[in-house]
Amino acid sequence: MSFPARLSLLFLSCVVVLAAQEQKPPVTFTAEQDHQNMMDQLGIKALRPGPSGNEKAPNHANYDESLANPYSNVPDPLAMNDGRKVTTAEMWWKERRPEIVEGFEKYVYGRVPKDVPKVTWKTGIVDHEFLGFTPVTAKELYGEVDNSGYPAITVKMHAIEVLPAAAHGPVPVLILFGPARFPSPNEPRGDELARVNKAYKAMLLQQDPSLKEVFERHPAWEPLKEPPFFQRPELNEDGDQPNVWQLAAAGWGFVLFEPASVQADNGEGITRGIIGLVNQGQPRKPADWGALRAWAWGAGRMLDYLETDKAVDAKHVGIEGVSRYGKAALVTMAFDQRFAMVLVGSSGKGGATLLRRNFGEAVESLTGGEYYWMAGNFMKYGASDATFGKMTPGDIPVDSNELIALCAPRLTFISYGVPEKGDAKWLDHEGSFMATIDANRVWKLLGAKGLDLGTDYHTAKMPPVNEGHLDGELAWRQHDGGHTDAPNMKWFLQWAEAQMVVKK
C-alpha cells in the first residue's frame, strides 16, 4: 500500500474513532425521572392524577353514565379543520385523512422519524409441529436493526412465523401481538428419546456416581417420558380451541410478534429500544413517538418480511392485539394502509374508546403512569398547572372515532368482553361503541358497507352481548367472556373470510 493510501486510511480511522468518542452514552432514567424530564420540557408544573380502577377507592373512576360525556366537541371525521364538509371519497383521501393523521402524529402518538435504520430479517430455528391435527411449519425470525450509527444500543426484533404445512398456495396471515414462543414444539420420541435418556442418565452418573445403585434398582425408569401424540389444549373461555389452533385449522398462517423486542413496555426503557436507538440514547422530545407507535412500526417491518414470503398472501395480512396491544393493533391499522384487517380486543383509552369520555380509564391515566405509550405532547391534556395554562381532554384536536375512521374501508373488527368476566368497566365499552358508530360514516362515504346500527352515536344503542354485527367491512361484537378476544376469534375468521370472498 502506498504512503498516500496508508495516510488516507489512517485519517478515516481517526474520524471513526473521534465520532465514536463524541457519541454520548445512553441516558439511564427511572420512569419517574423520564416523566419529569418530559414535564419540564413541556413547562408542566402539575398533572391531574388519574382515577383509581378500584371502585371503593376515594378517587375511583366515574361509572355514572350521566356524567360520562362532559365534552360536546367530539371532532367530526367528515369535517375539515376549517369547517368544510367532506362529501367525496377524493376529498377524504387527499385532504381529510392526511389532516387527521397529522393530528394524531403531532398531539397523540408521535411521529415515526424519517431516519429509522434498516431492518434485516434472519431465520433461526425451523420446527415442524402439529396444532391439534393440523401440521404446521414454525420458523423463528429475528429482525436486526442496523445500529452502526449508534452501537451502544442493539434492537433485535423477535417473532415466530407459523404456516400450514399442507397449503396449496399463499395463505392469509394474522400477526398477533404478544409473546413469541413456539406454539407446540416437536418433541423427540422413540429411538431419539431413548438416546436422550441414555445420555441424560450418563451425565447424572458422571455428576453423582452413587446414583448407579438407584438406576439398578429401577432399570426401566426413564427421566424423560414420551408425550402423548395428541395433547388436549387449554380451551378458550367459550369452550373453543385456542386462537392459534383455530387459525391453523382454517388454513391461515399467523405470526407471534414480541412487542417488547422492539420497545420496552415501561418508561425507564424509553431511552433504549428502537426509540432510544434513533435518539442515540437520549430522552425524547415532545413530538417523538411513544411505545404504541413503536410497536406499530415493528409490525410494519414484520409485514415487510411477509411481503417477501411466497407462502404468504401479502394482500391479506392482518393485525391483532388485546388491551394495550389492542391499542397498538388499532394504531398499526390506522397508520399502515397495507394491513388488510384488524381484530381490536378490549383496547380502552388510547385505542377505540373516546378520549373525551369521563368513564373508567382516563386521559390522566395515559399522561401519568402510562405516558410512555404516547407522544410527550399528549401530556399537555392532563396538565392542571403549566406555562401554557391548563388543558383537558376536550382540547385534544382528534379522538378515537377518527382513529377508527383511518382504517376505512378495510376490515376492522372491534371486540370486547363483559365486566362480569373480567373485561373491566374501566375499558368503557359504551365509549368504544360510540366511537365505532361515528366512524361508520366514513366506510359508507368510501362505498363500503359498515355497521347496520345507524350513524348517530348519540342515539345508537349498543347491541346485546353475543349479538354480532358482522355483515360489513366494519364489525362489532361484545362476547360474554373476559379480558380477551378469544371468544370472538371464530367469528372474526368467518367474517374475514366472507368479506375476502365478497371483495374478490
- Residues of the chain predicted below pLDDT 70: 1-21, 228-233, 235, 502-504
Q: What is the pLDDT of residue 5?
A: 57
Q: What is the CATH number of domain 65-184+243-503?
A: 3.40.50.1820
What is the C-alpha R_g of the chain? 26
The pTM of the full predicted model, rounded to 2 decimals, is: 0.91
Predicted confidence (pLDDT) per residue in 433-470, tens digit: 999 999 999 999 999 999 999 889 999 999 999 999 99
Within 8 A by CB and 6+ apart from 174, the residues are 247, 252, 253, 254, 255, 317, 318, 319, 320, 341, 343
Cell of 388: 401554557
Within 8 A by CB and 6+ apart from 202, the residues are none
Phi, psi of 75 (to 5 degrees): -65, 145
Note whether 405 and 98 are within 8 A (CB): no
Q: Find the helix packing angle between 324-335 and 97-107, rounded to 10°.
A: 140
Sequential DSSP letters for 43-70: TEEEEPPPPBS-TTSTTBPP--GGGS--
Q: Domain boundaries in the chain? A: 65-184+243-503
Q: What is the pLDDT of residue 232?
A: 65
Q: What is the pLDDT of residue 226?
A: 77
Phi, psi of 156 (to 5 degrees): -130, 100
**One-letter amino acid of 106:** K
Note whether 196 and 188 are within 8 A (CB): yes
CA dist 393 and 400 (Å) reads 12
Note whether 181 and 256 are within 8 A (CB): yes
Q: Compute CA distances 78 → 111, 133, 149, 272, whole Å.
A: 23, 48, 43, 39
Side-chain-side CA neighbours of 301 within 13 Å: the count stands at 30
Cell of 137: 411449519
Within 8 A by CB and 6+ apart from 294, the residues are 262, 263, 273, 274, 275
Q: What is the pLDDT of residue 18?
A: 45
CA dist 173 and 320 (Å) reads 11
3-state helix, strand, coil in the chain (%, to 5): 35, 20, 45
Q: What is the pLDDT of residue 496?
A: 98
Note whether 400 and 104 are within 8 A (CB): no
Predicted confidence (pLDDT) per residue in 332-390, tens digit: 999 999 999 999 999 999 999 999 999 999 999 999 999 999 999 999 999 999 999 99
